[in-house]
Every structure is written in C-alpha cells, then in structure tokens.
Amino acid sequence: MPPMDGIDREILNRIQSNFPVTPRPYLSIADDLGLSENDVLKRVIRLKNERIIRRIGGNFVPDKLGFVSTLCAARVPEDKIEEFAGEVNRYPGVTHNYRRDNEFNVWFTFIAPSMEEILENLEKISQKTGITDIINLPATDVFKIKAHFDL
C-alpha cells in the first residue's frame, strides 16, 4: 500500500460523501481542515494517481433515474468462466462481476431500464454460452448502502 499520512486520511474522510458543491471545492475542503487549497489539490491528485481514490463523481439511485437493478448468480464450469464473463461483461448494465467460491461461482449486478430487458439479456447470455443455471435476485428491500470507509 502506498504511504498515506494523517492528513491524507482526513481528506479522504472529508471527500467520500458531500464533496463540496461550491465554485472552488478544494478551497472549501482546505478551509474545513485548516490546510491550503493547493496542498489539498496536490494530495488528491496524488491519491488518485496512486489509485487509492477510484473516482470522484456522483453515485445515483437507479430507480430515481427510471432504471431497475438486480444481482445475478450463475453456476459455470471452471473452464468456461472466462468465456462466460466475457459475454456477460459486454453489457454496459453489468457494472460489478466477481468470481466467488460457491457452486454459484459468478456473481454480477445488472442495471437496465426494465426487468424485462434484463430477463431478455439473461436469456441471450444463456443461448450464447450454454450456461442456463442463472438465478436472478432483485432486491425487495434495501436496509443499507454505505460506501464511506472511515480511514
């Protein structure tokens, strides 16, 4: 892990949610933390270059944008995982895909304008890859979505 000091951590804790919506956001952060704008900016650029920060931007609620999302799990023979993942990952609505150690070993999220579209795409994926054991697990209640890590 690249070196991070206490000030880096303070900045990361400050900018994970409620990134300032002000003309000079890095000045706002600097004022909050008692630093200079230039120092904050340089550190954030470094943390991005060191890939500690994945991205800075907006995270949306799919259904408020007229989209639906689901979690899917597939049972795929080991030697077909690469081909299957390649086919699944072609869909822009597949945002996360992980190999996990279970008989259902490929787990991916799927976002689309409607559940019908997702089901059609799953059908197409099955036809193309021969993998028919795919379960569709749309969320029916959301108890927590947190993407803030106290550092």
Partner 1 sequence: MLTKLEKKILASIQGDIPITERPYLEIAEQLGISEDTFLKNLKDLCDRGVIRRFGATIRHQKSGFKANAMVAWKVDEKRIIEVGKKMASFREVSHCYRRNPNGDWPYNLYTMIHARDEEACRKTARKISEAASVNTYLLLFSREELKKTSMQYFPHED
Q: Which is nearer to partner 1, 6 or 146 (CB)?
A: 146
Q: Which is nearer to partner 1, 5 or 54 (CB)?
A: 54
Structure tokens at 140: 């029916």
Residues 19-78 touching partner 1, rule: CB under 8 A, are 19, 21-27, 37, 41, 44-45, 48, 50-62, 64-67, 71, 73
User: What distance in Å separates the CA atoms of residue 129 and residue 73, rounded to the nearest whole number?
Assistant: 15
Instruction: Provide the minimum distance between the beta carbon of 146 and partner 1 in the complex, in angstroms, as a whole number.
Output: 5
Residue linked to tokens 């933390």: 33
Closest residue by Cα to residue 40 from 30, 28, 48:
30
Q: Which is nearer to partner 1, 86 or 130 (CB)?
A: 86
Asked if 142 touches partner 1 (CB under 8 A), the answer is yes
User: What distance in Å separates the CA atoms of residue 16 and residue 58, rounded to the nearest whole number?
Assistant: 10
